[in-house]
Amino acid sequence: MDLGRSSVKLFLMQAGRSILLFLAVIYFARQLGASELGSLFLFQALLGLLTIPADLGVRGALEKRLSEGDHREGMLGSALALKLVLLGVVAVSIVLARSYVNRYIGFELAFILVVALITFELSSFFVQALRGELRVGETAVIRFAIRFIWVGLGVVLVTFGYGVIEIAAGFALAGAITAVWGYARCNTAIGRPSLEHARSLLEYAKFHAVSSTGGRIYQWMDVAIIGFFLSQEYVSTYEVAWQVTLLVLLVSKSIGWSIFPQVSQWDAEGELDKVEWAVSKAIAFALFFSLPALIGGTLFASEILGFLFGPEYVFGAAVLVILLVEKVFQSFDDIIESALRGLDRPDLAAITTVITAGLNLVLNPVLVVTVGFVGAAIATTVVGLISVALHTHYLSRLMTIEFPYRIVGWYALSSLVMGAILVGIRSAVPITSVGSLLAVIGVGAAIYGVLAVSIPRIRNEVIVPAIRVLV
């Protein structure tokens, strides 16, 4: 597997997915209103959280075992059998609790939630099977397709006057299409399930289930708790701010997905020096965007929310700034956590998840009740900092982590210079429209790019290697 080119493919995919969703959220925010959009986000939050019991680490275990190269057909068949059993249990539970589910979301969506969960999980299952075959780059098109199909259907439906129920149904349909597509792309045949292979999968899954739970809790628990204590308007405003900050993670997520199967292979071959080199370079690439995004986002938080989504979302500016800080931690954590799992230590990632998930479950409701929905952002940021500290501690026990201090220092200095110039520009030219906001953001990106290119270390160790991979 070509690690660099796989990362580029995944970056382009993730960039496309994120931009599509970002534009869709802008459109939905303006067409549906804050309350109805909040119900759509609660549907997604429930879907995201329900993938925890519907998976229990099976997908991650499948990726790991397939990447090791042994008994692939039996592993795939056994993993699929486990997956279908789990999906059946969760689906029945949703149906039995449908009245509570519908009341929480605000629409009759329980049955659509069942279908969406099944199709989404099967789509993700076959995508991770492709990763396990060390074909990470090929998953880019499929992952992009599920977002493209759903967003396309959603925009068309909203344009013709439909609402949340139809958009949710479109998500379920997109999952079904990409599940079939992912299955067709797999080279590994579905073998006969066996207890031996099931035990092997469960041995890894029992730890990965905990670590993957952390990701779902991180992504959706704050929204779910806001929806429980506050109105849908707060839910939509928080999630709008969250979607803006997700753009910061385009690079780190792509690299994290790429290095996991490669680190797994290098670990199996005893080439730890290659893992250490890859992790150091990955950190340098991941933080290239998150630091300037923090500075720029802090300066223009109100304008971003007000001009892009509508004036009713401006009160989420503080949430946006806090979540940008959290994304700096997360961009680093994406690399460290992927390397830790690739070194076959899901137990250590699981310990981190138990600690951070527990803190999240305590801090989020406490701070939401006492501080308001800003408290959810504070809780998520605190938990993010603790997560990266614990993952780094555990990974440093397995290998030497060469953190690129000088390069990150140059990132910080360049970002501050960019910020100072932008403050001067804003004082001279007020931002009064979407066009002027995008122009200022473009100027800031250009300033940071020029500063980065002018620094030899960044140019030689980050920009030039990136250009070589692209060409």
pLDDT of residue 418: 94
Q: What are phi and psi of 394, to 5 degrees?
A: -70, -40
How far the first Cα of the chain sits from its last, in Å, is 17
Residue 415 lies in a domain: no
Residue 249 lies in a domain: yes
Residue 431 lies in a domain: no
pLDDT of residue 417: 94
Nearest to 64 by CA among 226, 203, 256: 203
pLDDT of residue 470: 45
pLDDT of residue 43: 92
- The length of the chain in residues reads 471
What range defines the domain where residue 137 resides?
Answer: 3-403
Residue 459 lies in a domain: no
Q: CB of 297 within 8 A of CB of 244? A: yes
Q: How many other β-carbons are positioned within 10 Å of the β-carbon of residue 92?
A: 11
The structure tokens listed for 77 are 């068949």
Residue 175 lies in a domain: yes
The structure tokens listed for 119 are 């199709």
Collapse the DSSP code of 56 into the 3-class scheme (helix H, G, I; strand E, B; otherwise coil) and give the result. coil
- Total domains, the chain: 1
pLDDT of residue 221: 82
H helix runs in 344-433, sequence order = 346-371, 373-396, 405-428
Residue 411 lies in a domain: no
Mean pLDDT in order along the chain per 10 residues (471 residues): 55 73 86 86 90 86 78 83 92 93 90 93 86 72 81 86 86 88 82 83 77 71 87 89 84 66 71 79 83 92 90 91 92 84 77 85 91 91 92 88 86 92 88 89 91 82 62 46
Residue 98 lies in a domain: yes
Residue 214 lies in a domain: yes
